[in-house]
Chains A and B, each alone.
Chain A
Amino acid sequence: MGFAFILCCASLGQYFCDNLEFIPFMATSRGLFGSSLARKYWMALTGLFLCSFLVVHLLGNLPLLTGNQETFNAYAHFMTTFPLIKAVSYLLYGSILLHTFDGLMLARQNMAARPAGYVKYHGAANANWSSRNMALLGTFTLLFLIIHMKSFWYEMHWGNVPMYTDADGAVYKDLYTITVAAFEQIWYSLFYVLAMISLGFHLWHGFASAFQTMGWSHPRYTPIIRAFGYGFSVLVPATFASIPLYILLT
């Protein structure tokens, strides 16, 4: 179901990106849609937005590390019901879809740009590994995301979640118990850790790359952005990975 939906959106997305001339504004704003650079801008902007989401998501999930059932359930309840968050969540879903489609389109064009490959290609001589494998890392991250959303997002919205009553008598869905149960399965947790390593490599290149794509490059600030990106790509995924590991080991 999910896959069919994604494929449908992908083909629609592509159709619109290539055929926007019929909308007057689009026809005059040459290049903002459909061109190679336009796709890259959307990749960069959605990518950075997803990075900011990672931070919020991580902060919200920290109660899992302290075993604080009440705070976590209250957070989950707030995130699924507060109107502003709901609005932003649609922006988030849109960004994930756009980042995926544009990534697919760009990767497809890139493969077509060199139909006959080299017999010998020494990629490591001039570029680091993560920068050469963004599509692969992105695909793995997407796979993770589908499983992750099925386990928690889907369950929280439409699944059969047990209820939890806090000290003040308020009743919440008990996502905490579901999460802990999931992470007590060793394979499930290991898959999470692997996915976070993959995400880390994706961000290792992706963070600073987004700034370069937007043209936000400056001899004084670019080194700072790079350093921040490296720190971000290690710290954020590592903290995420520590959640299943913590639950598994305690």
Chain B
Amino acid sequence: MKFTLNVWRQNGPQDKGRMETYQVDQVSDDMSFLEMIDVLNEQLIGQGIDPVVFDHDCREGICGMCSMFINGEAHGPGRGVTTCQLHMREFSDGDTITIEPFRAKAFPVIKDLMVDRSAFDRIIQAGGYVSVNTSGNLPDANATPIEKPDADAAFDAATCIGCGACVATCKNASAMLFTSAKVSQFALLPQGQVEAADRVLNMVKQMDLEGFGNCTNTGACEVECPKGISIENIARMNREYLSASLTSK
């Protein structure tokens, strides 16, 4: 397969950046999107051009690093996949593909397609933990009964890989889906109750401080989320936040 690629090139955080056009051929339809970029980079190195910088790690949909905005969608046209799980057979031979970094004030571009998503880490630090003793004397895992539907919902929320596709795709660059997934995974379990009110207040506060936008419930995030995190989590966070603001001391 052959493709024309419009790729965002930006030398560093201060650079203005621009789109560059490259041709790639000899792409197999079994290649993942990242492998196609590898082919492009080999070619660029051969021509003495700086290769395109992009984030990636596991290449099997579990780390969430491979942030790319492809043809106007986070992680491209596939549903429930990250960029590394997107295959070139999703495109047609001869297509022009536009590749951009995830864009948000809170996700500054480091270089080319690589962005700094440490804002997410700071949201987690603000409350995404439970203060239970994990050294020695571990309580028996089954000693605390948890209803199956709650356990399932908590587990579903916990599958969020922190990729940032929700922010990238949201027209408001809001981080509500991510934050609500992290709030929910604890809010649904008894272990999370001790810090529940502080958690939601602090995480939302940090989310605001990072400069993310405000959710307008378009639902775009849950469509683009590679892990199928539902906006029901956002409703849960809204509930938690409301009751925490009314009752916290």
Write the residues of chain A forming the contact surface with B, with a CB cutoff of 8 angstroms.
28-32, 35-41, 106, 109-110, 112-123, 125-128, 131-132, 134, 205, 208-209, 212-217, 219
Contact = CB atoms under 8 A, between A and B. Distances in A.
Contact of B72 (A112, A118, A128): A118
Given A37-B204, A110-B213, A114-B105, A30 B245 contact: yes
Contacts of A32: 245-246
12 contacts: A31-B205, A36-B207, A37-B238, A113-B104, A113-B106, A114-B105, A114-B213, A118-B103, A123-B220, A126-B220, A212-B231, A214-B239
A115 B19 CA distance: 17
B216 interface: yes
Contact of B208 (A36, A118, A214): A36
A89 B235 CA distance: 31
Interface in B212-236: 212-220, 223-224, 231-232, 234-236
B1 interface: no
A18 B33 CA distance: 45
Contact of A134 (B105, B106, B216): B216
A125 B77 CA distance: 9
Interface stretch (B50-58, B121-129, B130-138, B165-173): B165-173
Q: Name which of B237, B239, B241 has the most chain A CB atoms within 10 A of its CB.
A: B241
Given A29-B246, A31-B205, A215-B235, A123 B100 contact: no
Contacts, number: 143
A51 to B, nearest CB: 16
A28 B249 contact: yes
A139 B246 CA distance: 32
Contacts of B8: 119
B13 to A, nearest CB: 12
Contact of B73 (A29, A115, A125, A134): A125
B211 to A, nearest CB: 6
A37 B216 contact: no
B241 A116 contact: no
Contacts of A209: 216-217
B108 to A, nearest CB: 10
Nearest to B102: A118
B204 A35 contact: yes
A37 B216 CA distance: 11
Contacts of A122: 71-73
Contacts of A38: 245
Interface string B149-180: 00000000000000000000101111000000
Interface string B29-49: 000000000000000000000
A214 B214 contact: no
A110 B172 contact: yes
